[in-house]
Amino acid sequence: MRRVVQFSTGNVGQHSLKAIIGRPDLELVGVHAASPKKVGRDAAELCGLTEPTGIIATDDVDALIALAPDCVVYTAQAETRPMEAVEQLVKLLSAGINVVGSSMVWLVTPSQADDWLTGPLEKACAQGNSSLYVNGIDPGYSGDTEVHSALSLVTRAESILVQEIFDYANYDDYEFTGKSMGFGLTADEEQPMLFLPGVLTTMWGGPVRNLADQLGIELDEVRQRIEPWYTDQKIECKLCTVEPGGMAAVKFAVEGVYNGEPVITMEHITRLTAASAPDWEFPPDGKPGVHRVVVEGEPRVELNTHVSDPVLDVTEAGCVSTAARVVNVIDWVCDAPTGLIGVEDIPQAAVIRGLIW
Ligand SMILES: NC(=O)c1ccc[n+]([C@@H]2O[C@H](COP(=O)([O-])OP(=O)(O)OC[C@H]3O[C@@H](n4cnc5c(N)ncnc54)[C@H](OP(=O)(O)O)[C@@H]3O)[C@@H](O)[C@H]2O)c1
């Protein structure tokens, strides 16, 4: 039985918390909450369960460390506050606590991440004899496990296309997702964070370079492309309301170029309702979202992954899967060698522990 602390209960964290509470192989011993509205509340309440756990949310990181958990599931928003998040991770890791999480998407491929990030974290792991593993559905599954599955079926690959085609209309996260992607902004307003030079290549360039390394090819360059789509009619949805002239869909990609051709492409087509960008590709069979891998080669392979839930929106189902990607490997990570872990370090069978109870 692994003793676990859940750090934050946002879009992803509420689902990892619920999973930890339900799993027989994990024991919830603490919960972090940054919001004063959540501090003092029972963990069950913070993830929509009715039976109290007796574990009360706190904003006291030292008190959580004093519980000496085997592992912390770190899902606090981190890309907007990287230095503060690194400081919190360093504190946990150097105290000898293993960390798994979805935050700091650059760490999905630790071997490609910058030194300012990996340096202090590696040092903290060495000091605490602990390990850190970050993954999710995208970046994460679609660019590693799903691609590896497709590539294992071909004798020769010419190109690899990884796509997330999603409708974010019902994603209740304007503050981070909506703003950073620029939904609702007109063409002459200030560029959103995602469009700033280099942001895409730092977020998805790691998985592209990592895959090239694994395939043993040296890329000419890693480049990005972005295509916004502006609506001529008002679009109303949960994420936000887009007035005519505002951005209601975006297509962006990071491409790994080899011999002058893009051979590894990680592309996102993100729209708000089906009325947006009607000429762009939709997920197959009328589904609201897909994580797709297409390998052109011998033979051609196409994998379409659809996560869904009878109650939750597809974007929230993606958050459940993001939680699963890391909660499922807690047991393995607790016994892992010290340091930063990438998915390629984990045996495939180790990610399916404790699932059926
Ligand atoms: N790879 C993937 O597929 C994938 C998918 C989804 C998300 N992610 C990543 O996972 C992370 C979480 O995403 P999310 O959508 O769950 O985020 P979110 O709901 O926007 O925020 C998560 C939590 O961050 C906490 N937070 C905000 N400011 C904080 C502060 N100053 N100190 C400590 N905690 C603070 C809040 O905690 P409280 O609730 O305690 O107030 C909030 O609930 C992000 O880094 C995101 O990029 C990755």
User: How confident is the model over 263-319, as pLDDT tens digits?
Assistant: 999 999 999 999 999 999 999 999 989 999 999 999 999 999 999 999 999 999 999
From the CB of 78, is ligand 1 less than 6 Å away? Answer: yes
From the CB of 93, is ligand 1 less than 6 Å away? Answer: no
* pLDDT band at residue 176 using 50, 70 and 90 as cut-offs: confident
Kindly report the number of other CB atoms within 10 A of residue 34's CB atom. Answer: 15
Instruction: Report pLDDT for 94.
Output: 98
Which tens digits make up the pLDDT trace of 40-54?
Answer: 999 999 999 999 999
β strands within the chain, DSSP E: 2-7, 26-32, 71-74, 98-101, 131-134, 156-167, 221-230, 235-236, 241-242, 247-258, 261-271, 289-298, 301-305, 339-341
Instruction: Report pLDDT for 353.
Output: 82
From the CB of 8, is ligand 1 less than 6 Å away? Answer: yes
* 2 beta partners: 26
From the CB of 176, is ligand 1 less than 6 Å away? Answer: yes
Closest Cα to atom 4 of ligand 1: 136
Q: Report the separation in Å between the CA atom of 76 and the middle of ligand 1, taken as the mean of its atom positions.
A: 4
The mean per-residue pLDDT over the stretch 203-227 comes to: 95
Homologous superfamily of domain range 2-136+319-352: NAD(P)-binding Rossmann-like Domain (3.40.50.720)
Closest Cα to atom 2 of ligand 1: 136
For the chain, the domains span 2-136+319-352, 141-306
* pLDDT band at residue 91 using 50, 70 and 90 as cut-offs: very high
Q: Report the separation in Å between the CA atom of 74 and the middle of ligand 1, taken as the mean of its atom positions.
A: 9
135 Cα nearest atom in ligand 1: 1
Closest Cα to atom 40 of ligand 1: 33
Instruction: Report pLDDT for 199.
Output: 87
From the CB of 76, is ligand 1 less than 6 Å away? Answer: yes
Instruction: Report pLDDT for 307.
Output: 96
Cα→Cα distances 342→33, 112, 144, 254, 330, Å:
27, 10, 10, 20, 14
Pocket test for ligand 1, best of 5, 6, 7, 8 (most atoms within 8 A of CB): 8
Closest Cα to atom 47 of ligand 1: 103
Q: Report the separation in Å between the CA atom of 354 and the middle of ligand 1, taken as the mean of its atom positions.
A: 25
